[in-house]
Amino acid sequence: MALIVQKYGGTSVGSTERIIAVAEKIMATRAQGHDVVVVVSAMSGDTNRLIDLAKSITDRPKDCEFDVLLATGEQVTISLLSMALHSAGCPARSYTGTQVRILTDSAHTKARILDIDDKAIRADLTTGKVVVVAGFQGVDEQGNITTLGRGGSDTTAVALAAVLKADECQIYTDVDGVYTTDPRVVSEARRLDKICFEEMLEMASLGSKVLQIRAVEFASKYNVPLRVLSSFVEGTGTLIAPEDEIMEQALISGIAFNRDEAKLTILGVPNEPGIASQILAPIADANIEVDMIIQNLGADNSTADFTFTVHNNDYKNAFAVLENCAKSLNAKDVTGDTRIAKISLVGVGMRSHAGIASSMFTALSDESINIQMISTSEIKISVVVDEKYLELGIRALHTAFNLEKTEVK
């Protein structure tokens, strides 16, 4: 007998029919002899609807009231799901974040979980109940309702699994697992049976939207085995686990990409100590996050060109900051481009294999795709290319690294 935490996302509980289907899935797990704790999101679209309601009254709702409002979405689904379980003859009980006491800090709309009181949940499990917990919400020291940020129900589920020392945390969603890349871009994209935490963190931060990144960080920190599965079709999904538990590790696990980047260049700055910090400090002060950074020296070594990428939304601000900076540094010019995209190869196998980068660059050059920037880490190689070559580039790499084939070393 195992203890399983199951999380059902918004589409999985998007209608009362779906909620009844979820109740059946939970009962099937119980019939195998397992204890089940369930975390649910709001019905799909509901959180957005609540946000729109607030916005139709004021552009600046008080954060604490905003959280009281947003937390109602999940209160609807926990009660309906418990009713569905009762109707099917299954004992169950629902809990809001406050009722469990999922203690968070007071950072409204992006609170972090500090502690979870598991007493009531454990007592219910002992008496044979299914425990249904509202995702995405908690309560701070002062008793204020907080929310964890969009997609936060994943984090609730992982945190509960960690506290309860669950055997597995299953995230039910509308896709049947984690894929080598987005199947809408490459139709041969393959579902991965397993991927390790580090790879999943890279994939998630690079724009693969299957799981909230904070949930993966949490799972990795507390060693909670995570499984992503579809609530619509049967299957074993993708297991996300520590690296040493994944036996046949593929060289490359996947290709992540991000269309939302823009690049900026400040040309002809003095090649002297302190210049990079003089360029990036005002960018940081403007709260703009920088991703890739490159510096090239001019032929005579006396000047340098400095290029970096930011999120598209920050492009205009970053450009203005850089123009100011150009004046004070006596730089030649500031240029920028929003029509770029980043493609990244991810795989822990890279650590022990030479030549991945050169194979990647060859595959792109065979398609005449120009690489504008490159950055690497231990398990990732990223390139920036013209946005119009994004799909072509991803497809070329997917083929070059045989990602459509089942995992072989």
Residues at the contact surface with ligand ASP, assessed by CB under 6 A: 9-10, 41-42, 47, 73, 135-136, 150-154
Residue 205 CB coordination number (10 Å)? 16
Pick from 228, 253, 216: nearest CA to 175: 228
Cβ at position 249, least distance to Mg ion in Å: 27
73 binds Mg ion (CB under 5 A): no
For residue 313, give both structure tokens: 């939304």
Closest to ligand ASP by CB, 37 or 246: 37
Q: Is 240 helix (H, G, I), strand (E, B) or coil?
A: strand
Which residue's C-beta sits nearest to Mg ion? Answer: 151
User: Rounded CA gap, 234 and 352, in Å?
Assistant: 36
254 binds Mg ion (CB under 5 A): no
Q: Which does 73 bind (CB under 5 to 8 A by kind): ligand ASP, Mg ion, none?
A: ligand ASP
Cβ at position 18, least distance to ligand ASP in Å: 14
Burial per residue of 163-184, b for 16 or more beta-carbon CB atoms within 10 angstroms, e otherwise: bbebebbbbbbebbbbbbbbee
8-state DSSP, 405: S
CA neighbours within 13 Å on the CB side: how many for 189?
21
For residue 159, give both structure tokens: 């945190």
CA neighbours within 13 Å on the CB side: how many for 257?
26
Cβ at position 213, least distance to ligand ASP in Å: 13
8-state DSSP, 106: S
Cβ at position 209, least distance to Mg ion in Å: 8
User: Rounded CA gap, 112 and 137, in Å?
Assistant: 10
Q: Which does 152 bind (CB under 5 to 8 A by kind): ligand ASP, Mg ion, none?
A: ligand ASP
Cβ at position 303, least distance to ligand ASP in Å: 47
Q: Is 319 helix (H, G, I), strand (E, B) or coil?
A: helix
Q: Which does 101 bind (CB under 5 to 8 A by kind): Mg ion, ligand ASP, none?
A: none
Cβ at position 9, least distance to ligand ASP in Å: 6
Closest to ligand ASP by CB, 30 or 150: 150
Q: Which does 150 bind (CB under 5 to 8 A by kind): ligand ASP, Mg ion, none?
A: ligand ASP
Closest to Mg ion by CB, 9 or 254: 9
Residue 388 CB coordination number (10 Å)? 12
Closest to ligand ASP by CB, 172 or 308: 172
What's the gap between Cα 29 and its chain centre? 27
Closest to ligand ASP by CB, 55 or 316: 55
- Using alpha carbons only, give the angle 402, 404, 409 rounded to the nearest 5 degrees: 50
Closest to ligand ASP by CB, 109 or 375: 109
Pick from 69, 67, 94: nearest CA to 80: 94
Contact (CB, 8 A) for 148 and 97: no
Query: Taking contact as CB under 5 A, which single stretch among the options 42-50, 59-67, 146-154, 296-304 is the one that binds Mg ion?
Result: 146-154
Cβ at position 158, least distance to ligand ASP in Å: 12
Q: What residues does 169 pair with on adjacent strands? A: 5, 226
Closest to ligand ASP by CB, 49 or 405: 49
Query: Taking contact as CB under 5 A, which single stretch among the options 4-12, 53-61, 198-206, 252-260 is the one that binds Mg ion?
Result: 4-12
151 binds Mg ion (CB under 5 A): yes
Closest to ligand ASP by CB, 47 or 309: 47
Q: What residues does 6 pair with on adjacent strands? A: 38, 170
- Using alpha carbons only, give the angle 164, 176, 226 rounded to the nearest 5 degrees: 25
393 binds Mg ion (CB under 5 A): no
Closest to ligand ASP by CB, 46 or 261: 46
Binding string, 7-26, against Mg ion, x = CB under 5 A?
Answer: --x-----------------
Q: Which residues bind Mg ion (CB under 5 A)?
A: 9, 151
